[in-house]
Amino acid sequence: MGATKSDLFTKQQNEIANMAKALAHPARIAILQYLVKKNACVCGDLVEELGLAQATTSQHLKELKTAGLIQGTIEGASVCYCINPKVWNQYGKIFGAFFTEAMDIKSCC
């Protein structure tokens, strides 16, 4: 036991849960907000920005890249990261749909 039983749920449910998982760490939120704020490719200064070890930062970047939310381009010796707008907007749309689905819910108990 211990592993999530993905087969019990719909593809959509697993998808939304995985999207949420990508956002489920403050370091990853911080990375995304930083990239959004800069509104451009950011090279190098992410490790100092976060305060986590280089290895840990790299791991969070990898997860965001796997989720598709960011993309990295090799720029000489360093790597530049930026938001992937297409996936970003898709996330926004899917979470938006999930929550507006019940905007008019009634408080019953």
Partner DNA sequence: TTAAGTAATCGTAATATTGCGATGTGTTAA
Partner DNA sequence: TTAACACATCGCAATATTACGATTACTTAA
Q: Measured between alpha carbons, how far is 24 from 6 in angstroms, rounded to an integer? A: 18
Q: Pick the closer one to DNA by CB: 29 or 89.
A: 29
Stretch that binds DNA, among 19-27, 31-39, 84-92, 93-101 (CB under 7 A): 19-27
CB of 55 to a copy of itself, least distance (A): 11
- 30 contact partners, CB below 8 Å, separation of at least 6: 49, 50
Q: Measured between alpha carbons, how far is 9 from 22 in angstroms, rounded to an integer? A: 19
Beta-strand pair 70-75/42-43: unpaired
Distances (CA, A) of 32 to 6, 25, 47: 27, 11, 13
Helix or strand holding residue 60 (H, E): helix 54-67
Residues interacting with a copy of itself, by CB under 8 A?
4-6, 8-10, 13-14, 16-18, 20-30, 33, 36, 39-41, 50-52, 71-73, 75, 80-86, 88-89, 91-92, 95-96, 99-103, 105-109
Q: Pick the closer one to DNA by CB: 33 or 89.
A: 33
Footprint (CB under 7 A) of DNA, residues 49-108:
52-56, 58-63, 72, 74, 76-79
Binding residues for DNA, rule CB under 7 A, total 30
Chosen from DNA, a copy of itself, none, partner binding at 77 (C-beta under 5 to 8 Å by type): DNA
